[in-house]
Amino acid sequence: MLLTTRSALFLDFDGTLAELAPRPDAVVVTRELLDLLERLREQLDGALALVTGRAQADIEPLIAPLHLPAAFEHGAVRRSASGITTRAHSPELGPALAVAQALAARHSGLLVEHKLTALALHFRAAPHLEAECTAAMSAAIRHDPGLQLLRGKAVVEVKSASVGKGLAIAAFMAEPPFAGRLPLFVGDDVTDEPGFETVQRLGGAGIKVGSGDTCALHRIAHPQALQRWLSDTAETLLATS
C-alpha cells in the first residue's frame, strides 16, 4: 500500500485538498475533510504536514481548529511538529508589488495577494491578461537574482529564490516525527514539482492531482478522488493497526 503507518504525508492545499475557487477567499473546506486530516494525523503519529503557497494568516482560519505542522508561502515560513515557526528573510518585494498594484488598478479582474515574503497576482477573472501579467512581473524582478517567478494556476507569484516546497519537505524529513519515514507528497501544480522530486529522492513518491506533465510517480484525478482515497486508506489503517 502506498500510504502506511510508516509514511510521512505532505499535502498541498489549493487544487489538492480544496477544489479551486474563483478567489482565494472563496475556498470551502468541509468538516468532513478536517476530521479526516485529524484522523490521519493520529494514525501517522503526527507525521502529516501541509505544504502550501498560502500565507499562514490566510489559511489557518480555513482549517481551524486543525493546527498542523505546515510550510507556508512555498516554504518561506515553516512550523515544525514541535510548534517552532521559522521564517526566511523577506526579500525586497517593493518594485514588483508596485507593478502588480498598478496593473490591478488598471484592470478590474486582477487581484493582488501580498504575503509576508511573497506576492501573487491573480488573473483567474481576467484570463486574457495572463501574458501581460507574466511579462510585467517577469520584467519587475529581472534585475534581482534573489527573486523567482512562479507560474501557478491563473496566478503569477514572486517569491524568494532561496525557498521552495522541496527544501521545506527536506527540512521536515530531518526532524521527528517525520524522520525515518517514507515521504509522500500530494500536489496539483507545477509549483509542486520540487516537492515531488524531493520525496522521490528520499525513496518516497509524489502523487499528482489532475492533468499536466509531472515527475510524480502516481496520479489521482481530482481533489474529491484524493479525499476518497485518503478516507479509504484511513479505514484500512484502522483495520490493520
Ligand X SMILES: O=P(O)(O)OC[C@H]1O[C@H](O[C@H]2O[C@H](CO)[C@@H](O)[C@H](O)[C@H]2O)[C@H](O)[C@@H](O)[C@@H]1O
Of residues 152 and 206, the one with the C-beta less far from ligand X: 152
122 binds ligand X (CB under 6 A): yes
Active site residue 12: yes
From candidates 129, 154, 182, 217, binder to ligand X by CB under 6 A? 154
Binding pattern to ligand X, positions 37-66, x when CB under 6 A? ---------------xxx------------
From candidates 189, 210, 220, 234, binder to ligand X by CB under 6 A? 189
Phi and psi at 190, nearest 5°, equal -60, -30
- Reported in sequence order, the residue ranges of 73-117 that DSSP labels E, i.e. its strands, are 77-79, 85-87, 111-114
Of residues 158 and 237, the one with the C-beta less far from ligand X: 158
Q: State the residue number with the nearest CB to ligand X.
A: 53
What is the torsional sign of CA 69, 15, 238, 34? Answer: positive
Binding pattern to ligand X, positions 80-119, x when CB under 6 A? ---------------------------------x------
Say if CB 164 and CB 147 are below 8 A apart: no
Cβ neighbors of 34 (< 8 A, separation 6 or more) are 63, 65, 66
- Here the cell at position 64 is 481551524
What are the residue numbers of the active site?
12
